Every structure is written in C-alpha cells, then in structure tokens.
Chains A and B, each alone.
Chain A
C-alpha cells in the first residue's frame, strides 16, 4: 500500500516535473520567438529615434561649417569599423577573413583620415580678435 502510494506520488511528481519542464520550454520558445520579432522593432526604434536626434542637432548648422560637418560626420560613419573588427576577428574561415580585414583597412582609413582632416580644417576657423 505504502509502496503503491509512493509510486503514485513519484509518477505524479515526475509528470509534474515533466510538465513544468515542458511549460518552461514552451514559454522560453515563445519568448524567443516573440523576442526575435520584437527585437527587430527595438532596433528600428533605436534607428528612428537616432534619426530624429540627428535632424534636431544638425538643423541649425551655419553654412560656414558645412564642410567640416560633412567630413566629421563622414568619419563617424566609419563606425562600420566596429562591424569590420567583429567580422575579421572571429574564426570564420579564409574568405570571410579576407573580406573582414579589407573592411578594417577601408574603415580605419575613413575614420582616422576623416577625423584628422576635420581637425585640420577646424583649426583654421579662428577669429582674430
């Protein structure tokens, strides 16, 4: 009798355990799926908000600084360097590495050259008082 009860209890426990495990699995899957979809929305949100920030900041730029703004923002667009480092640095095989390393060279030219030339230009914009 005792044994039977024990067995029943065990079975119940295991089914319960299984159930919980199954539920957790289902839940995490659901989260992953919905997380996948909403993640894109999250990235889009960041993108759109950043565009608005950009517009707000730049809207009143004086024409005097159009060229330095362009070359400076151009250097910032070299942020692809971060992506290039991730692409080149990983263990991804020869072809991917070749592409990645070329990207690193291109992007670092863009970044470093861009900031240096902007600095050079801006240094000239001084009022003599």
Chain B
C-alpha cells in the first residue's frame, strides 16, 4: 500500500476516533461510540500492517494475538469493584508501550542512518525523550496506583523527609538526560535508558505517597499522560494519527483531572506534592461526638416505611462492602411501596471518576435515579430519609462551616439538611481527610454501626417482615 493511501486511512481513523469519543459523552450513544473507536483502531492497525516496511507480519500477528487474549480475559474476568485497578493497569501498559517504541526507534536502522549522515535532528530526538519520559512516569505511576488499589501488601503509603527534594532531583535528572538525548545523538540510547530509569523512579515516588481519596485525580492525570506519551511517539515517528489520538486522550484526561480537583476544592499541585493542609484548630473527635445516637435496622425500616423520598449517598465504603446488589434490592422494595429512591453521587466518591455510577449500573439501577451533587442539593428539603452508605468527607458539613478545616470550601452533598439522616458505618473513624464529622452527632442523624452490606440486607429483611 502506498504511504499516501495509508495516511488517508489514518485520517479516516482519526475522524472515527473523534466521532467515537463524542459518542462516549452521552449514555444513549456511548456503546456505539466505543465501537466506532475500536473500528478506527482496527483500520489503523490493518493499514499499518500493509506498510511496505512491515516485513514480519506473521510474528506481529502472534504478538498481537497474545496481547489481545490477555487483554480480553482481564476485561471479562474483572469484578466491577476492581475497575479502578484495571484502568490503572491498562494505562500503565500504554505508557510502557510508548517507552519501548521510542527505545526501538533509537535502536533502529533509520536512526543509525540519520546519525551517520551527521544532520541535526534535535526535534525528533526531543520527541523521543519526551515519549520515554512521560511514558515511563505513566508506566511506573500506574503500576503503583494499581498496587495501591489492589491493596497489595508490599506497597505502602510511603512518605519520608526529603521526599519532595528527591522528587525534584529525579525530575531534574530526567529532564537533564532528556536534554542529552536530544543533543548527543551518538550516545542517545545510553542517555535514553538512564532517563527511563530516573523517570520510572519519579513515577513511583510521585504516586506512592498519594492516598485513597486522591486516587481519582491521580488516575485521571495518568490517563492524560498516557495520551500525551502516545502523542510524543507520533512526533518521533512522524505519524499524524498518533498525534491526534494521543492529544484527544490527553485533553480528556486533563478535563477529568480538573473536574476531580474542583470537586475537592484542591489544586492539582496540592494533590501531587502536598498533603492535606493542616487544620488550624480542628475539633477532636471527643468534642464533636457528644450527641451520637445509634439505631437498629428495624428502626430504620420503620422510618423508611413512612418516607416519601429516600436519598442514598454511596461512597467508597459501599464498594468495599460490595453492597451494591443489596442496595438494588432495597431500592426495588422501596419503589414497590411507592417510595421514591434517589442516589446522590459526589464527583469524587470512590477511587476513580464515575466509580459509584459503574457499580450501581452493574447492580442494574436505572441511571436516571443517579443524581449529581448540585441537583440533589437543590431538592434536599424534599428528602425524608438520607442514607449515607460508606461516605464520610463528601457529606461533612465542616466544609461549609469551618473555614480552617482541611476540607474547607469543598463542595459537599448537604445530607445534613435532609429531615432524617441514617449513617451506615462500622465505627466513628474519620475519613480520608482525618477529621471528625459533626453530621454523625447532628440532632437529625442516627448511626447504624454495621458492615454496609449486612446493614442493607437487614433493613431489607425488616421491611419485608414489617
């Protein structure tokens, strides 16, 4: 196939990627959008296989078959609760592929030919360095994120004095090696792999100290990086399709990152390099929890019986307890009794953007019932019972009232303004922000101390018997 024809197919693929991504922004068109994206990828791959320089077609088909089979098995076997890990893992693989392609370019004949000709081609080498640097950070950062989400034992929250300084040194070293890649073509390979080592270490250190509730930001940011790495590879190989597809992904990741940061009222900088701002005069748990009233499943069932509208606010705890199917049964039972059920989803609930929505969709809960924070807050006065299931910081009224609190200014779901609030939680332990939640001892709040799933099952049973 002639190069021009291949480029035309690439153009077609780029258009399909754009239309496909557009489809992904609406529930009704999303399935089709995803299929269009995969069709675009197929076109791109087939056109590339027909390139005159591609010789070992058989070997390539085997390699692709191996990767595809592993990918499909992972994709079909994974539990929906483990989705954040899988996304992180795939992300890392994409970043790793960019590093390897850039490395292969430096080891290849085209490159050695260019070096021998003595022409300057710093632009291509800069792109190669960028591809390796971003790719390596994406790879190692994503794998650490995977380990943390999977709760692998050997990965702990590590932070030590001088960590920021070490990060800075590693970042400068990576950029320095990258500069050497661009300016010393004869030794480019050596500098490239040294740079890969330092940026891999940087990726590990950047992500290892980032804690649970900040994970959605990290995952979105790494998603963006994997796109940028692909784009950089496009500059190396002089390939428009890589540049376009990569930058689309880079842009979408950046937007998600911003949405996540806004939803926590924290800057990206604070998430990546800082810990939570220390609260000035935070009240201790003993001072806050003076008025905690606990309740039972039977009592909750009675309250639900007489309610007209029930709001459920899920958090990461629901995912941990795998309570989503029990929640579905409760929802159906309440709907059967003509009680309206809504879900209030905070943008950063869970460990990945949209995490709660996926879990509830898996349990077959109609997505029309899932309401965004603003919508829920505007109708809070109509809510008779709000059930907080495994959420904490995202319903902490201190965000509104205490300007000194670490979560000050963070938009929250105003569950405290519902008529009655039921908090299902194992204990009074604080959430990620490490602060006490006055909601738990509010006059209209009752605590149901139990495992999330068990509590919902018990309420269900009580409702059936009552």
Complex Cα distance A63/B220, Å?
Answer: 13
Q: Is A105 an interface residue when CB atoms closer than 8 A count as contact?
A: yes
Nearest CB in chain B: distance from A95 CB, A: 5
Q: Is B336 an interface residue when CB atoms closer than 8 A count as contact?
A: no
Which A residue's beta carbon lies closest to that of B41?
A111
| Contact in complex: B54, A89 (CB < 8 Å) | yes
Q: How many residues of A contact B (CB 8 A)?
A: 81
| Contact in complex: A83, B94 (CB < 8 Å) | no
| Contact in complex: B237, A65 (CB < 8 Å) | no
| A 46-66 binary contact with B (CB < 8 Å = 1; else 0) | 111011111101111111111
| Contact in complex: B100, A127 (CB < 8 Å) | no
Q: Is B157 an interface residue when CB atoms closer than 8 A count as contact?
A: no
| Contact in complex: B244, A50 (CB < 8 Å) | yes
Known contacts A58-B251, A82-B239, A115-B34; is A77 also within 8 Å of B94 by CB?
yes
Contacts A63-B347, A85-B60, A112-B75 aside, 12 further interface pairs with beta carbons under 8 A come to: A50-B248, A74-B94, A76-B17, A76-B41, A77-B91, A77-B245, A89-B49, A92-B107, A112-B71, A114-B90, A119-B34, A121-B361
Which one of A40, A60, A101, A127 has the highest number of Cβ atoms from chain B below 10 Å of its Cβ? Answer: A101
Which B residue's beta carbon lies closest to that of A117?
B75
A66's contact among B49, B249, B354, by CB below 8 Å, is which? B354
Known contacts A90-B54, A92-B104; is A125 also within 8 Å of B63 by CB?
no
| Contact in complex: B107, A76 (CB < 8 Å) | no
Complex Cα distance A69/B353, Å?
Answer: 9
Q: Which residues of B contact A16 (CB under 8 A)?
A: none
B247's contact among A54, A100, A124, by CB below 8 Å, is which? A54
Q: Is B271 an interface residue when CB atoms closer than 8 A count as contact?
A: no
A91's contact among B86, B109, B345, B352, by CB below 8 Å, is which? B109
| Contact in complex: B59, A121 (CB < 8 Å) | no
| Contact in complex: A119, B56 (CB < 8 Å) | no
Q: Which residues of B contact A52 (CB under 8 A)?
A: 251
| Contact in complex: A109, B255 (CB < 8 Å) | no
Complex Cα distance A111/B38, Å?
Answer: 8
| Contact in complex: B25, A96 (CB < 8 Å) | no
Nearest CB in chain B: distance from A86 CB, A: 6
| Contact in complex: A80, B94 (CB < 8 Å) | yes
Q: Which residues of B contact A55 (CB under 8 A)?
A: 251, 254-255
Known contacts A89-B60, A110-B90; is A80 also within 8 Å of B248 by CB?
no
Q: List residues 167-220 of chain B with CB under 8 A from any CB of chain A.
A: 219-220
Nearest CB in chain A: distance from B164 CB, A: 28
Nearest CB in chain A: distance from B74 CB, A: 5
Which B residue's beta carbon lies closest to that of A40?
B123
Q: Which residues of B contact A78 (CB under 8 A)?
A: 41, 90, 93-94, 97, 230
Q: Is B392 an interface residue when CB atoms closer than 8 A count as contact?
A: no
| B 74-115 binary contact with A (CB < 8 Å = 1; else 0) | 111010100100110011011011101101110111100000
| Contact in complex: B97, A110 (CB < 8 Å) | yes
Q: Is B420 an interface residue when CB atoms closer than 8 A count as contact?
A: no
Complex Cα distance A52/B41, Å?
Answer: 21
A80's contact among B233, B345, B355, by CB below 8 Å, is which? B233
Complex Cα distance A113/B97, Å?
Answer: 15
